[in-house]
Structure 1
Amino acid sequence: MLAQNSSGKLWQRLSGPRLMTLITAVSACAIAYEGMSQGVIGAVNSTPEFIHRMGYGDRDGTVTDPTKQGGIASIYYAGSLLGAFWAGQFADRYGRIKGLWMASFWCMAGVILQASATNLAFILCARIIAGVGVAFLIVIAPLWTAELSPAAHRGRVICLTFLANFSGIAFEAWLGYGLSFTKDIGHGQFRWRFLFATQTIPIVLLVLGTLVIPESPRWLVRKGRAGEALAIITKLRGNDDSEHPDVIEEYKEIIAVLEMEQESSSSNYFKMFFGIGSGDIHLGRRIQLAFWLQVLMQYGTGIAAVVIYSGTIFRTAGFDAEKAGWMTALCLSLGIVGTAINAALVDRLGRRITVYWGSAALSVILFIIGGMQRAAYNNPDSAQAYGTAAAAFVFIYVLVFSASWLMIPFIYPTEIFPTWMRAKGNAFGVAGWAIGYGGGSLLVPVMFSGISEKTFYVFGAAMLAYIPLTYVFVPETAGRSLEQIDFLFASKSPFTWKEEEEFEKRMEVLQQHLGTEHKLAV
């Protein structure tokens, strides 16, 4: 078994385990920017000079036009929605590394423009550009990581990169809180411009990292560069041992499935979404799963409700603005712990069980938070006690959410699409993320205005409904190679038990194909 000589590549100088660690770190830089980009707007939106300059409040920082305030935050997701589909086409055509370079360009442009904004129109345009950049990152970085990770630990590796997400959010929250105490800086324009500018840090690190790391071997095979792909797999799975059984198995499987896989005529997004002409690969079914898992997670789990309403809960508990500020930052920091728990369990338990236990636990917590808020309204003399209990469950909610539901909609789309359109498929997941979170940011305040704490009951009931939906429609992907997962969707039926039956049949055919027709040679 021969591998193309790639000694000129920097990644060839590292051992396999160290290279996998570097890949995880570089991907984490991309996700850290996404977290900082989400967290920074919350910190900036509490800066008096920014509020007055952008025309939605007075000089003291009192908000008088919440519609403008919400528009500055949510227009970012409109940019992400546009960028997602562009990113999918770009990464499948030009590769994952070049896609990350394009992402870095748009992200850096967005940072510079946001930090130098002078009025509302300026910041809105800057936010759209930043949204395009972050869409490129979310489409490309997780799937590139998935394509380089071993099947047994793929979920864990992606979870580890997403530790940087909550780290980025918490970093901006704590930094904004700290800067608020500086008399001159806290009320001037330096505070919010500096907060925006800090986002350059992960982008610079990402660009430097892409100069060292390898391209996706699956994309390389698709482009006829099998020798380069084999060298990467040999490094990652065999630590330079080309005869390692893991190297042989993975390489042969990629080649075999590539030859068996018939490219669908559904190359444009419209046909993909409705599954027109996709045959046995059932692209429409995969896309619906990727899209709706993100929408349901970003909006239906109640995460937007808890984050947006947490300030009100803290005030009901009797906390002043200063204490509420550091409690919010501390609450978000718990997401780091939860994501670490997710990384330890998601491959061991599987995607489906993770959704089951997370949905059940979050449902109970949401009903408790709503009940405590109602009790506080009905019993003014004990409002602080009930508010404190609700505040405690907000912390528990963030921990459980990040330990369960948070990662599944990001992991799943990186696994369920064929190599030749994995980035384009993941674009639908990012579109669901943009619609779910952006829509939640706009709709949740309306729900609270209309039905108050009953909003939590709505989301609590939704969480219970997710359990049977997952059982029926979401097949398990943990522990299966990306090539094997293709066979999960070969069934004509969308029900998981039928998909598992078809999977077993297709795997038997694959094993026969590997044993009779392929010899590993390059």
Structure 2
Amino acid sequence: MADLKLEAEQLETVQRPAVNIYQKESTFSRYIPGGYSPTRCLKLTGKPMMYAILSLAGCAIMFFGYDASVMSLVNTNEDYLTLMGAASGSDRDSAAIGGLVSLWFGGFAIGAICVGHYADRIGRLKTIELGCLWGILGAALQASAQNFTWMAFARIIGGIGCGHLNTVVPIWTSELADPHLRGAFVAVEFTLALTGSTMYSQTPPQQDHANIVVCIGWILLVAVPFYPESPRHLTKIEKHDDARQVLMQCRLDPADIKIEQEMLEIEDAIRLEASSTSHSFYSMLFTKDRLHTRRRVILGAGVQVMQKLTGIDFIATYAPEMFTLAGYGGDKPALLAGGNYISYTASLALAIYLADRFGRRKLMLAGSTMMGILAHEVVSKSAKGQTAEANRLGGGVAAVLYLYTFMYGSTWLTTCWVYPTEIFPLASRAKGVALATVAFSIAGGVINEIVPYLINAIGFWVFILFALINLAMLIPTYLFYIETANRHLEDLDLLFAGESHLSWRAEREFEALKGKYVEHVEEGVGTQQVREVGA
């Protein structure tokens, strides 16, 4: 049970008037064209508005999927390797090519930090616009690169653009979606991201790559000003009527009582968060506050690092090498890798169904368990594949790799991106998601740099390592990761308010604290009505 003194302090914070709980619209924001306008916003409501939001978000994440994967084709182009000075066949070539891939992750981290710095001040829509501009510039520079240094800077700039989009778009959709649709939203977005990843195999490198990225960027820039802004951001800058209108348009059941209750929850969350000392990157990392923001940073960053440690990059990024190790030759590894991407994309259909029905916690536990078992099976079959039956057993290895990818896509891929957007307070949500994205970038950069060396050194035995890691990840997931699905974002401030780090104790403390919170909700909506809405 949460400490009674802590409960009293939190409930007192909700009831008493707070000073300067809102903020003025940023002066910097006024110089950025576009953004939200109630007169310009799409006149859609309910499901049509949700489909429109999904279309824009999916387009933005597809931008990321294509830009992240196109280098796997470019890296096999002889002209490109010669131009970059990486065609001599030396160890330096592998380091140079791996470095150019990893630099993109460095730019990705910079973009995420930029989002954390100004997304709460200028809004989600204008942050998306800035990300598009960075991405367009990066694509143009990559297409025109004439040497290694030029390409290195171009990769960083392109990564900054993708870092913007991949950080702010899930925040934007999470703050607009119904509580029971947030996971499905992110699953649909990443279905399109994987669609973007498969597009690269159908286009020549360089110029066509730039054309596609620039085209997607301009579509986003033109479309964004016609979309709704986050109602939480609008409330924060004291545009309450606009926030209420957005909720009316985006809710599947826009009953007046429910809209008013959600507005009260948002405003109460802003009051509660105004008492927190963690509003900067430094304070979020090093200061203990009553909202336990530092704990949330660890959980958000942890889920992103763990998803990289599942071993998915060994299959998704280096799939041809994996199928070659399974005993296939000629064009078969490339064809099998392409088929694996199709299976990968199809797995998101299952994720759309599971994300909100089963919740984040169960999906992470199930995914790690199954991937740990499958990783062991890869090694078992590949060891037998050294015999004369290599072709037959190689088929078994390929099947297990397909299943491994499918399992990751249907569990971890969605969870690792939606979880950080849910657990942070509104006051520090953009910064919190940015820190989680930086963790993703660092883990991705390190793993992609060492992948070629691990494959050369130990081959399929690397999956023993990942089998053990997946099974070890069950422990922190079970102990510390609290379920966030089907809950209002404002409820999560109470869910993380307890002193216990253990998930089951936090749930018990939440139930007690939520009951007291409902009893003390502000006048205007009766307690009985609130309970009925919550039910």
TM-score by length of 2: 0.88
AA matched with 1:93:
R
Please identify, of 208-217 and 304-313, the stretch whose mean Cα deviation from structure 2 is larger: 304-313
**Structure 1, unaligned runs of 5 or more:** 1-5, 180-190
Please list the CA deviations of residues 39-63 of structure 1 after superposition, one character each: whole Å capped at 9, or x if unmatched: 11111111111111111116xx999
Which of 273, 293, 312 in structure 1 is aligned with 2:303? 293
Please list the CA deviations of residues 20-75 of structure 1 after superposition, one character each: whole Å capped at 9, or x if unmatched: 111111111110011001111111111111111111116xx999711111011111
Please list the CA deviations of residues 495-520 of structure 1 after superposition, one character each: whole Å capped at 9, or x if unmatched: 11221122112211221122646689
**Pair 1:219 & 2:233 matched:** yes
- Tell me which residue corresponds to 2:192: 164
AA matched with 2:234:
L
Note if contact 1:48-1:62 (Cα within 8 Å) is conserved in structure 2: no
- Tell me which residue corresponds to 1:231: 245
Note if contact 1:16-1:237 (Cα within 8 Å) is conserved in structure 2: yes
Which of 448, 453, 456 in structure 2 is aligned with 1:449? 456
- Tell me which residue corresponds to 2:316: 307
Task: Measure the CA separation in 2 of the matches of 1:273 and 1:41.
Answer: 34
Please identify, of 328-337 and 248-257, the stretch whose mean Cα deviation from structure 2 is larger: 248-257
**Pair 1:414 & 2:421 matched:** yes
- Tell me which residue corresponds to 1:155: 183
Please list the CA deviations of residues 361-391 of structure 1 after superposition, one character each: whole Å capped at 9, or x if unmatched: 11111111122222223x2x22222222212
Which of 94, 98, 102 in structure 1 is aligned with 2:130? 102
- Tell me which residue corresponds to 1:182: none
Note if contact 2:320-2:336 (Cα within 8 Å) is conserved in structure 1: no
Note if contact 2:310-2:470 (Cα within 8 Å) is conserved in structure 1: yes
AA matched with 2:84:
M
**Structure 2, unaligned runs of 5 or more:** 1-35, 530-535
Task: Measure the CA separation in 2 of the matches of 1:137 and 1:69.
Answer: 25
Task: Measure the CA separation in 1 of the matches of 2:520 and 2:48.
Answer: 34
Which of 175, 187, 206 in structure 1 is aligned with 2:220? 206
Task: Measure the CA separation in 2 of the matches of 1:227 and 1:365.
Answer: 52
TM-aligned CA deviation for residue 10 of structure 1: 3.4
Please list, as runs of the form range in 1=range in 2, the aligned pairs for 1:36-51 lying within 5 A after superposition. 36-51=66-81
Note if contact 1:355-1:470 (Cα within 8 Å) is conserved in structure 2: yes
- Tell me which residue corresponds to 2:46: 16
Note if contact 2:100-2:152 (Cα within 8 Å) is conserved in structure 1: yes
Which of 97, 102, 105 in structure 2 is aligned with 1:77? 105
Note if contact 1:11-1:212 (Cα within 8 Å) is conserved in structure 2: yes
Note if contact 2:142-2:206 (Cα within 8 Å) is conserved in structure 1: no
AA matched with 1:211:
P
Please list the CA deviations of residues 340-378 of structure 1 after superposition, one character each: whole Å capped at 9, or x if unmatched: 11011110001111111111111111111122222223x
Matched residue pairs, number?
A: 492
- Tell me which residue corresponds to 2:514: 507
**Pair 1:356 & 2:365 matched:** yes
Which of 279, 284, 290 in structure 2 is aligned with 1:280? 290
TM-aligned CA deviation for residue 11 of structure 1: 3.0
Compared CA separation, residues 142 and 404, structure 1 to 2 (3 A): same
Please list the CA deviations of residues 319-360 of structure 1 after superposition, one character each: whole Å capped at 9, or x if unmatched: 334232222122112221111110111100011111111111
Which of 331, 337, 352 in structure 1 is aligned with 2:340? 331
SS at match of 1:478: coil
SS at match of 1:494: coil
SS at match of 1:199: helix
AA matched with 1:260:
L
Task: Measure the CA separation in 2 of the matches of 1:10 and 1:238.
Answer: 21
**Pair 1:423 & 2:408 matched:** no
**Pair 1:54 & 2:84 matched:** yes
Please list, as runs of the form range in 1=range in 2, the aligned pairs for 1:358-397 lying within 5 A after superposition. 358-377=367-386, 379=387, 381-397=388-404
Note if contact 1:316-1:384 (Cα within 8 Å) is conserved in structure 2: no
- Tell me which residue corresponds to 2:18: none
TM-score by length of 1: 0.90
TM-aligned CA deviation for residue 318 of structure 1: 4.5
- Tell me which residue corresponds to 1:187: none
Task: Measure the CA separation in 2 of the matches of 1:209 and 1:418.
Answer: 28
TM-aligned CA deviation for residue 101 of structure 1: 0.9
Note if contact 2:128-2:169 (Cα within 8 Å) is conserved in structure 1: yes
Q: CA RMSD in A?
A: 2.1
- Tell me which residue corresponds to 1:188: none
Task: Measure the CA separation in 1 of the matches of 2:235 and 2:251.
Answer: 17
SS at match of 1:332: helix
Please list the CA deviations of residues 280-312 of structure 1 after superposition, one character each: whole Å capped at 9, or x if unmatched: 2011100011111111101x1011222355323
Task: Measure the CA separation in 2 of the matches of 1:68 and 1:314.
Answer: 24
Task: Measure the CA separation in 2 of the matches of 1:238 and 1:230.
Answer: 14
- Tell me which residue corresponds to 2:120: 92
Note if contact 2:269-2:426 (Cα within 8 Å) is conserved in structure 1: no
Compared CA separation, residues 16 and 284, structure 1 to 2 (3 A): same
Please list the CA deviations of residues 443-469 of structure 1 after superposition, one character each: whole Å capped at 9, or x if unmatched: 233333333322101111111112221
Task: Measure the CA separation in 2 of the matches of 1:465 and 1:421.
Answer: 30
Task: Measure the CA separation in 2 of the matches of 1:140 and 1:254.
Answer: 19
Please list, as runs of the form range in 1=range in 2, the aligned pairs for 1:415-494 lying within 5 A after superposition. 415-494=422-501
Please list the CA deviations of residues 148-173 of structure 1 after superposition, one character each: whole Å capped at 9, or x if unmatched: 00001111112111111111101113
Task: Measure the CA separation in 2 of the matches of 1:312 and 1:8.
Answer: 52
Note if contact 1:12-1:235 (Cα within 8 Å) is conserved in structure 2: no
Note if contact 1:291-1:430 (Cα within 8 Å) is conserved in structure 2: yes
Please identify, of 9-18 and 393-402, the stretch whose mean Cα deviation from structure 2 is larger: 9-18
Note if contact 1:151-1:480 (Cα within 8 Å) is conserved in structure 2: yes
Which of 50, 60, 63 in structure 2 is aligned with 1:33? 63
AA matched with 1:246:
K
Compared CA separation, residues 8 and 90, structure 1 to 2 (3 A): closer
Task: Measure the CA separation in 2 of the matches of 1:122 and 1:362.
Answer: 39
TM-aligned CA deviation for residue 238 of structure 1: 6.1
Compared CA separation, residues 383 and 410, structure 1 to 2 (3 A): same
Note if contact 1:57-1:64 (Cα within 8 Å) is conserved in structure 2: no
